[in-house]
């Protein structure tokens, strides 16, 4: 198993600040103002920076984005190092007229403006879309919030976890006799970030035809709710509420996770008939493959308890290595439930370069998720890790591409 720690001599640590490798990716030339904080809004900026956009991160003076204080290592901001990668940081107090004037100067040249404050905040600062548009009609403004810019809940405080609950996402995760389960990462924020990244690029495409920018209202709960297709259709057509089913699944069987003889968690799934037939043959030979209780997906779902007992006993009686070989030989869909240590030592991750090493002034080499997806002709890049607060003030405010006239 790979050692997750690094040791560095003094000469390994970068001392030169603001090292600026050339940007790469399909979004070269796109200029983005990231005025959000924590995860959902800023993560959109991170995706765009990975893909080549010039992203300016606006932060509160002295405090910075609160994510700088989360996931710290010896007081240093581990989470920020990845979430803030590829962005240039400027500290502006948007409560102050002078700093708002600086922001408005940058708005003139921006393509995209991202914010994720509670609705009404930008209006109180005099930075709503009509004001921004008055100096840059081509500006695309993405407004990310928990409940959206309208509706009775619009002013409610919200984070990814709340969006997950309100959308129904959490209601189908976990076991029926226990509370709903929330993942260990704020997936509601990340669902919103993926939706937001797609939205601003769709708006950029439309702007090529119209020449006009637009305001986009993204509610995190709606980004989560959009994924709840089967839950919605089932209630609409059958009046049935899909509940929590542990590691099973309401519409496909077999699906589940069981413990191996050597203590690892092992998942099996068979979403198509041929894969299910191969799994039954692999587990129980011709007799199980011909068992009428499991002949179709509908029958397997109806007899899930009996089938799960058979699969649990089979997984429990084999080591992880044995199961891996058997499933590979039988062309069965499976996966060992990986943790970070498993990921860092896995040959497939290594062969594809799914983990990239980036030099950081504080930590030296830092390993983090590589740029996704993989653009064949215009690959993106991680230019640097999240930098110190306000590190790029002079760099940006003296950059003619930002301080010149809009477009």
Q: Which residues are known catalytic residues? A: 189
Distance, first Cα to last Cα, the chain: 52
Q: What angle do CA 105, 25, 355 make, to 5 degrees?
A: 115
Q: Which of 192, 173, 307, 289 is nearest to 253 (CA)?
A: 307
Specify burial of residue 395 (Cβ count, 10 A radius: 0-12, 13-18, 19+): middle
The three-state (H, E, C) secondary structure of 287-325, written as one string: HHHCCHHHCCHHHHHHCHHHHHHHHHHHHHCCCHHHHHH
Q: What angle do CA 236, 238, 239 make, to 5 degrees?
A: 70
Where are the strands (E) in 120-173, listed by range? 140-145
Q: Tokens representing 367?
A: 């390993």
Give the up-direction half-sphere exposure of residue 230: CA atoms within 13 A in the CB hemisphere: 7
């Amino acid at each position: 198993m790979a050692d997750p720690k690094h040791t560095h001599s003094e000469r390994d640590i970068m001392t030169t600040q603001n090292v600026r490798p050339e940007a790469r990716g399909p979004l070269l030339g796109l200029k983005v103002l990231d005025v959000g904080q924590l995860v959902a809004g800023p993560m959109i900026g991170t995706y765009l920076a990975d893909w080549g956009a010039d992203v300016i991160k606006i932060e509160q003076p002295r405090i910075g984005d609160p994510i700088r204080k989360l996931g710290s290592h010896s007081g240093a901001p581990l989470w920020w190092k990845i979430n803030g990668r590829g962005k240039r940081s400027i500290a502006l107090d948007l409560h102050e007229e002078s700093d708002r004037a600086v922001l408005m100067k940058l708005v003139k040249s921006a393509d995209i403006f991202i914010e994720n404050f509670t609705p009404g905040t930008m209006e109180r600062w005099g930075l709503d879309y009509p004001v921004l548009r008055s100096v840059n009609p081509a500006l695309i403004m993405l407004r990310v919030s928990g409940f959206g810019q309208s509706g009775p809940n619009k002013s409610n405080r919200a984070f990814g976890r709340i969006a997950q609950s309100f959308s129904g996402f959490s209601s189908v995760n976990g076991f029926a006799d226990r509370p709903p389960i929330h993942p260990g990462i704020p997936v509601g924020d990340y669902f919103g970030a993926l939706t937001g990244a797609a939205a601003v690029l769709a708006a950029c495409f439309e702007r090529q035809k119209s020449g006009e920018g637009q305001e986009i209202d993204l509610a995190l709960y709606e980004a989560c709710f959009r994924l709840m297709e089967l839950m919605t259709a089932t209630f609409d057509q059958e009046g049935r509420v899909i509940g929590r089913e542990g590691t099973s699944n309401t519409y496909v069987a077999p699906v589940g996770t069981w413990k191996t003889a050597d203590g690892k968690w092992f998942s099996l799934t068979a979403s198509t008939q041929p894969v299910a037939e191969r799994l039954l043959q692999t587990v129980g030979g011709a007799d199980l493959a011909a068992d009428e209780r499991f002949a179709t997906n509908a029958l397997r779902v109806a007899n899930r308890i009996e089938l799960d007992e058979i699969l649990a006993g089979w997984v429990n009686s084999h080591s992880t290595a044995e199961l891996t070989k058997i499933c590979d030989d039988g062309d069965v869909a499976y996966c060992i439930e990986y943790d970070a240590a498993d990921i860092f030592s896995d040959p497939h991750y290594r062969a594809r370069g799914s983990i990239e090493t980036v030099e950081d002034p504080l930590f030296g080499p830092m390993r983090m998720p590589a740029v996704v997806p993989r653009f064949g002709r215009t690959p993106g890049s991680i230019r640097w890790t999240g930098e110190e607060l306000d590190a790029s003030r002079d760099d940006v405010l003296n950059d003619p591409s930002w301080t010149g006239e809009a477009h």
